[in-house]
Amino acid sequence: MKSYITTPIYYVNGSPHIGHAFTSIMADILKRNRQALGHELMLSTGVDEHGQKNQEAAADLGMPVGEFLDMRCNEFRNVFDRLGVAYDYFVRTSREGHKTAVAGMEQSIFDRDLIVKKNYTGTYCKGCEEFKKESDLTEDGQCPLHPTMKVEQTEETNYFLKMEPFRERLLQHIADNPEFVQPEAFRNELKQMLAEPLDDLCISRPKTRVTLGIELPFDTDFVTYVWFDALANYLTNIGWPEAGYEDWWAECEHMIGKDILKPHGVYWPIMLMAAGLPLPKKLSVHSHWVGAGGVKMSKSIGNVVDPIEVIEKLGVDALRWYLARHMRADSDSQISVEFITQTYNTELGNKIGNLLSRAAKFSKARFDGKLPAPGPLTAEDEAIRKAVVEAVKGMGDWVNLADIPARMQAIITVADEMNNYFAEQAPWDLIKNEETRERCQTVIYVTLDSLRVVMEALTQVIPGSAGKALSMLNAPEVASPWKPELDRLTGDSDLGEIETLFPRVQ
């Protein structure tokens, strides 16, 4: 079974930030989850290189555009590499093959008489790269998403894609396929966007204003609207229009933030319908991260969480864990370096890393560098083993974007239970008498084998640390397809070098 996961392609007018890191890390987690189910994966992430915003950012730095794009593209790629995002394809919309394919899509829609040329007067937000209706603006006439960028009054002749002929069909598609937009709150928001007749979508920009873009195949005075160009990446990444893309496309799932629901839920499906192409399988939408206290992150407030700063201070898995664990499905979630540090110390450090190092060091010290073989199991042993299997079972099933935090919660809850089990069984007392020595062996084995099961599940979320833990335990390779399975550690086998997985950070 194939599975194709996409992230948005990010504007390169600034450096990669925590929001970019988030969507790409979540996509990576879902990729690892699908792989654990035995699927063949394609994960794309990358950059959106065209449009007025990027053009002006290059000019502001006084750099030639090509050099600027290369610089930023490398920056994004490096950040995703450091975040452990195992992308299979890194998107650049400046790629020749992409540009040709986009022009081909435009020409085919033009040939179907779905594109018209007309004059337009209106308000434009550079942040959104979009014309705005009065009803889209705040009371003081600014874009609610980009209040500091100041909208501009524009009068222009442009090319427009007819949208209204497809509205009913799209609504029907949404009604027939409840999985198409997830979670439900965003499906409802999308239905709201489609409740009224749709204006034609402006799909060009005159070269007098924007040059950084793909030239229209039917009028060389214009470049393609950056969203039309960018959305098409999802098809051009898998080789469209050449044959071979179809199987991937049939299994395509887009991950996006709520800010870009309209382009993905309205423009993109209609572009595809206009071009006579099938719609993607699924759109998974998430809410946003904001600073502590619910305040939007901004440089002037000084509450911006820089992903690189975090991973340099705490390691990449502290960040991955926090993002996976604390994203709320239904509303914005709060983030700060302090919150990440706290969660890292109390959850990864105290609940997981500490138990592993205590149990494994005890085992090495008392059992000659080895993991002891277990004796007969008691009801307490059976109970904790069952709880562990139950808690991680969800990672052996299909995980949706919105399910991730609950699956992490289950793991932390069982980590608490494992700590209680370890404390109650008190192996340090059991080792003191020859009669209870075998019982001690069993407790150590049960604890470490349970931790192995947890770590196998966590390879989907914090692969670096989980991999290290598994090699400390000398565990066999994680099975694929994966299900939680007990007793994969061999009794009386050597343990690896025991390092502190999550050293405490102040």
Binding residues (CB under 6 A) for ligand ME8: these are 8-11, 19-20, 22-23, 48, 230-231, 233, 256-257, 259-260, 288-289
143 is catalytic: yes
In the complex, least distance from residue 80 CB atom to ligand ME8, rounded to whole angstroms = 13
Q: What is the dihedral of CA 349, 351, 353, 357, to 10 degrees?
A: 130
d(CA 213, CA 193) in angstroms, rounded, equals 28
50 is catalytic: no
d(CA 79, CA 85) in angstroms, rounded, equals 9
Q: Using alpha carbons only, how large is the chain's radius of gyration in Å?
A: 26
Q: Which is nearer to ligand ME8, 8 or 394 (CB)?
A: 8
Count other C-beta atoms under 10 Å from residue 382's C-beta: 11
Q: Which is nearer to ligand ME8, 22 or 225 (CB)?
A: 22
202 is catalytic: no
Asked whether 348 and 464 are in contact (CB, 8 A), the reply is: no
Backbone angles phi, psi at 51, to 5 degrees: 100, 165
In the complex, least distance from residue 447 CB atom to ligand ME8, rounded to whole angstroms = 37
Q: Which is nearer to ligand ME8, 197 or 302 (CB)?
A: 302
In the complex, least distance from residue 278 CB atom to ligand ME8, rounded to whole angstroms = 18
d(CA 395, CA 399) in angstroms, rounded, equals 7
- CA 50: distance to chain centroid? 23
Active-site residue among 125, 202, 252, 440?
A: 125
d(CA 291, CA 249) in angstroms, rounded, equals 36
440 is catalytic: no
**Cα dist from 184 to 175, 177, 191, whole Å:** 12, 12, 10
128 is catalytic: yes
401 burial type by CB count under 10 A (0-12 exposed, 13-18 middle, 19+ buried): buried
Active-site residue among 2, 39, 146, 288?
A: 146
In the complex, least distance from residue 7 CB atom to ligand ME8, rounded to whole angstroms = 7
Q: Which is nearer to ligand ME8, 101 or 470 (CB)?
A: 101
In the complex, least distance from residue 53 CB atom to ligand ME8, rounded to whole angstroms = 9
Active-site residue among 20, 31, 98, 99?
A: 20
In the complex, least distance from residue 29 CB atom to ligand ME8, rounded to whole angstroms = 14
Q: Which is nearer to ligand ME8, 19 or 372 (CB)?
A: 19
Residues 6+ apart with CB under 8 A from 307: 16, 17, 18, 21, 79, 83, 319
Backbone angles phi, psi at 159, to 5 degrees: -100, 140
Active-site residue among 117, 118, 150, 296?
A: 296
Three-state SS for 57-120 is HHHHCCCCHHHHHHHHHHHHHHHHHHCCCCCCEEEECCCHHHHHHHHHHHHHHHHCCCEEEEEE
- Give the residue closest to ligand ME8 by C-beta: 19
147 burial type by CB count under 10 A (0-12 exposed, 13-18 middle, 19+ buried): middle
Q: Which is nearer to ligand ME8, 261 or 498 (CB)?
A: 261
In the complex, least distance from residue 226 CB atom to ligand ME8, rounded to whole angstroms = 7
Q: Which is nearer to ligand ME8, 130 or 456 (CB)?
A: 130
146 is catalytic: yes
- Which tokens is 361 given? 């060091």
Active-site residue among 53, 73, 99, 143?
A: 143
Q: How many residues does the chain have?
A: 506
In the complex, least distance from residue 49 CB atom to ligand ME8, rounded to whole angstroms = 9
Asked whether 488 and 477 are in contact (CB, 8 A), the reply is: no
Active-site residue among 53, 73, 128, 264?
A: 128
Q: Which is nearer to ligand ME8, 8 or 372 (CB)?
A: 8
Catalytic residues: 17, 20, 125, 128, 143, 146, 296, 299
